[in-house]
Structure 1
Amino acid sequence: MKLITQPVIPTIRFKNHSVKVFTFFIIISTLFSSTIFAQKKQKPNVIFIYADDLGYGDLSSYGATKISTPNIDRLAKEGLKFTNAHTTSGTCTPSRYALMTGNYPWRKKGTGVLPGNASLIIPIDKITLPQVFQNAGYKTGAVGKWHLGLGSPGKDINWNKSLQVGPNEVGFDYAYFFPATSDRVPTVFIENHNIVGYDKEDPIEVNYKEKVGKEPTGKENPELLKLQSSPDHGHNNTIVNGIGRIGFMSGGKQARWADEEIAHVFLSKAEQFIEENQKNPFFLYFSLNDIHVPRMPSTEFKGKSKMGLRGDVILQMDWTVGEILKKLKALDLEENTLVIFSSDNGPVLDDGYADKAVELAAGHKPAGVLRGGKYSAFEGGSRVPWLARWPEVIKPGTVSNALICQIDLLSSFAKFFQQKIEDTDATDSFVVMDALIGKDKIGRESIVKQGGALSFTKGNWKYIEPNNNEPFNKLTGTELGNDSKPQLYDLSKDLGEKTNLAGQYPNKVKLMAEELAKIKEAGGSR
């Protein structure tokens, strides 16, 4: 897209002075409007809506028949639906790390699923996705789940002072979030550097090794729980809002949120950010709590899906997306706003609470035709829904099978804004902007993903590295994709990864294993 900065006014001779003046202003007005339009197209507002634990088959636009998601489906009807879109990982923290840094998380230790008192794992001296937007003159905001750590490495977090190292330090002008996941302590909202509603007379202490304070736990007082924990998952520590959490917490009673309010609070803050920045280009990272456990929707959605609490929070999530679309329309922002909707990893039904998600699925297949789910090296772990709407650019009703990954957003937008990325930054992120807006049907050439094992996909072929880890997660009922022998699948004919072709194509296995090894060795430079 070419940006017009100096409109050229043609010389026109007029017999009538009034006609000359009138026509002159018409020309000026028209060219000025064109200039502004071009500038807008160069700098669209961007909203990235990140669902949590949403599967490839959880949306009606992706084939779900037991539940309807009309607001999210609008993005497909009015924009672009991807069928070959991926996270880098089968779990949340590593996927989010890759999104923010442009680096494969398996290259760095400590990027697994974090506790609520972990240090920040995003380097503050490297380029990040929000910094790309900041460098382009955008206002940047993060609202929702964070789960990338807070504070400096090696230092314990003091929850009773201003939290100085977090989203703001890696590129967000504004941040309203909770530290980890809603099933982990501390169960508080943080706005920029401060805990919302903090009372210095009730100091907060957080511990993931031993109990602190005298508050009841799910293990000691199960009779106090309004949502029972599944056995052996670890959701039986400090009880907050009638729900046992992972980890121990004391104090901060005034600051603690109720699960039923989370979706509304985050939506309110997201809408506020949009309203306050409507006259400037903005980037909003809207990281939803839904549909992560504990699934506890607001009252208006309880029982609405007839699929239990998991179905109810899917409907709440869909409503949230609808409200964002309404806000854009009300502010006359929808034409020049790119809205992207995706998920951080694949689905899981029983992930720590006895909410009858398995029993009430009623034939619903969260991963659709895919094998595996959250935590898995199979496609169900990391092939996710991805929808994009940008009315000024993206053709409505487009479907793309281009291979894309969330890790590529950083380099793609940097190129879009004509920014140079250092060779040691965003080493695994590639420029696929044309694919992201439906102009290219190929995308990236290959991708490495992590679940129970590392996998390497190139074209239609997928190779899963052999390993000796457990093949099945008994707690969640998920196939992890681990096998002591190499696995090879032709995804063009076998998207469900039912037939291992490694024995039939030993040369293909050898070549893909060698290429994966080279990618692993090449870390650290672009």
Structure 2
Amino acid sequence: MSSVDPAHETPDHGPLAYRPPGLSRRTFGGLAGVGAAAAAAAVGSLGALASAPAAAAAAPAQPGERPFRAAPGRRSRRPNILFILGDDLGWADLSSYGASGIRTPHLDRLARQGVRFTQGYSGSATCSPTRFSLYTGRYPGRTEGGLAEPIADRSVGLEPGHPTLASLLRDAGYATALIGKWHCGYLPDYSPTKSGWDTFFGNFGGALEYYSKLGLAGEYDLYEGDAPYRDLRYYTRIVTERAVDHITEAQKRSGGRGADRPWLLNLNYTTPHWPWIADGDTEESAEIVRRITAGDRSALFHEDGGSLEKYREMVEDLDRSVGEVLAALRRSGQEEDTLVFFASDNGGERWSYNWPLSGNKASLQEGGIRVPTIVRWPARIDAGQVSHEPVFTPDWTATLLEIAGARPDRSHPLDGTSLAGYLLRGERLAERDLFWRVRGERALRRGDWKYYRGKGGQDQLFHVTADPREQADKAGHEPELLTRLRTAWEAVDRTLLPYPKR
């Protein structure tokens, strides 16, 4: 691993003091959130880096990293926003998060140039609910479409009248685009262009065969705007090419001076989601297409395919693709004033490496919702930093709106807390809980503690900083704390829509 870019190096601020398990802690962070859970008790503060054994076990320290500290006093214009999502990428599938057999030099470099979050969480445990939580800044259960885990038919979606990250940023003067996977509803009723994005190029469904672009029901699923677009090349190549072109065009529109009108680009890869087809696997692609056209609705799940080696190929391809996009951003002269965010939409699937976490996609155990999370903004955020702050998807919606000077819609209050003050001004984060709900499971994180009830119906309590694998159930040792966290979870749950009966 190469050293931190000297142009972005900052002085070593030294490790933050580590607090033993069980002590009350407050986080450092941004302005108060306005969600239902925001008034609950405190989340955990930044831990030490190498001096905190539990934190180090959960997220290996990387060369050159130092505990996060904001650098107040810098000023810049409103940034462009490049928000990149991988699909079903596991917690430790990047080299910088512990993968030993997968090389991800471009994403590792991105982490060295900004902040790597070791306790970043997705808004839910599957694809479309997390996207709802990002686009609306609210718990998925506040909207009918967010109750689908994930969306699998045309009956629900993100209602066009609901304020979104894109619509609010557009109202604040941003150009908005979404390239890649939408998965928040199907035509004719739902589309990115109906929900605030000026332009859209990508797929509507949750998965597609990478060459033919056939979806789960055998439909062709590659669109430009609301019209089908025919291109039978490997999908990750197409999406990357489009993103590079979009960034380059943004530079041209501004005469090479950097975008006069700031922009938002949601870049949503399907990689490394099933089917397990890497670039060049045309024979495997043809077999899956044959099964789809023969009426096999399970063909895309590819339950008889894949391998650790194939998964490695797909993750490394994602890394190369992101590297191409970042290189285009650098060439365009917009790198300094562009906030780049990278994460996964939920925890890893069958071939992912989640150690030391338990569980994976679809579960509210740590492996289903804790995801690699990286933020870079050269104009405002120092390089080579690591944060152990617990954050989740709706926080980033609130953060980006504040940074961009956009006003949230008061009729649809956000559930996330802006981290702008934490990232840019060194402010403390308001006391809050992180809340999750999926059908049959519940979870709430408060500080070091996590309340969890799985499909078996048993309430459990884990000290997740000391026990990220969630193996030592402390419910019997801390019954009052368990009751408080369960009560807090139930208070939020009462404000959400009920699941429809099956």
| Aligned position for 1:177 | 202
Identity %: 28
CA 1:439/1:49 → structure 2, altered by over 3 Å: closer, same or farther? farther
Quick check: 1:377–1:455 contact (8 Å CA) kept in 2?
yes
Residues 1:84 and 2:142 aligned together: no
Q: In the alignment, does 2:277 pair up with 1:296?
A: yes
SS at match of 1:277: helix
Unaligned runs of at least 5 residues, structure 2: 1-72, 209-214, 285-305, 498-502
Aligned counterpart, 1:221: none
Residue in 1 that maps onto 2:398: 411
Which residue number corresponds to residue 296 of structure 2?
Answer: none
The number of aligned residues is 386
One of 94, 102, 112 as aligned partner of 1:67: 102
- Which position in structure 1 is the counterpart of 2:177? 141
How far apart, CA to CA, are the structure 2 residues paired with 1:517 and 1:308? Answer: 43
Using the TM superposition, give the Cα deviation of residue 164 of structure 1 relative to its aligned residue in structure 2, in angstroms.
6.5
Secondary structure of the 1:394 match is coil
Which amino acid counterpart does residue 272 of structure 2 have in structure 1? I
TM-score by length of 1: 0.69
Q: Is 1:196 aligned to 2:224, yes or no?
A: no
When the two structures are superposed, what TM-score results if normalisation uses the length of structure 2? 0.72
The within-5 A match list for 1:45-60 is 45-60=80-95
Deviates more, 1:117-126 or 1:331-340: 117-126
CA shift for structure 1 position 76: 1.0
Corresponding residue for residue 490 of structure 2: 517
Distance in 2 between the 1:116 and 1:334 partners?
37
Match of 2:493, as an amino acid?
Answer: K
User: Which residue number corresponds to residue 129 of structure 2?
Assistant: 94
Q: Which runs of 5+ in 1 are unaligned?
A: 1-37, 152-162, 198-256, 350-356, 358-364, 466-480
Instruction: Say which SS state the counterpart of residue 193 (structure 2) adopts.
Output: helix
CA–CA distance in structure 2, aligned partners of residues 522 and 508 of structure 1: 22
Aligned residue type for 2:240: L
Structure 1 consecutive aligned stretches of length 4 or more whose deviation exceeds 6 Å: 300-303
Q: Which has the larger radius of gyration?
A: 1
Going from structure 1 to structure 2, the CA distance change for 1:444 and 1:338 (only over 3 Å counts) comes to farther
Q: Mean Cα displacement is larger for which, 39-48 or 495-504?
A: 39-48
- Range with greater deviation from structure 2 (66-75 or 450-459): 450-459
Q: Is the 8 A contact 1:335 1:390 kept in 2?
A: yes
| Paired residues for 1:117-266 under 5 Å | 117-119=153-155, 121-151=157-187, 163=188, 165-180=190-205, 181-182=207-208, 184-185=216-217, 186-197=219-230, 258=232, 261-266=234-239
Cα distance in 2 between the residues matched to 1:317 and 1:301? 18
Residue 484 of structure 1: aligned partner: 457
- Residues 401 and 442 in structure 1, CA contact (< 8 A), matched pair in contact too: no
Within 2, Cα distance between the matches of 1:175 and 1:384? Answer: 26
- Preserved contact between residue 129 and residue 409 of structure 1 (Cα < 8 Å): no
2: distance between equivalents of 1:492 and 1:334? 34
Cα displacement (A) at 1:109: 3.9
Distance 2:90 2:437 in 1: 17
Tell me the CA shift for residue 438 of structure 1.
8.6
Contact 1:120 1:166 in 2 (8 A): no
Q: Distance in 1 between matches of 2:404 and 2:316?
A: 36
Distance 2:456 2:488 in 1: 20
Cα deviation for residue 442 of structure 1 reads 4.9
Shift of 1:300: 9.3
Deviation at residue 439 of structure 1 after TM alignment: 4.0
Indicate yes or no: 2:148 matched with 1:104.
no
Contact 2:177 2:198 in 1 (8 A): yes
Aligned residues of 2:106 and 2:322 also touching (Cα < 8 A) = yes
Is the contact made by 2:88 and 2:347 (CA closer than 8 Å) also made in structure 1?
Answer: yes
CA RMSD of aligned residues (A): 2.7
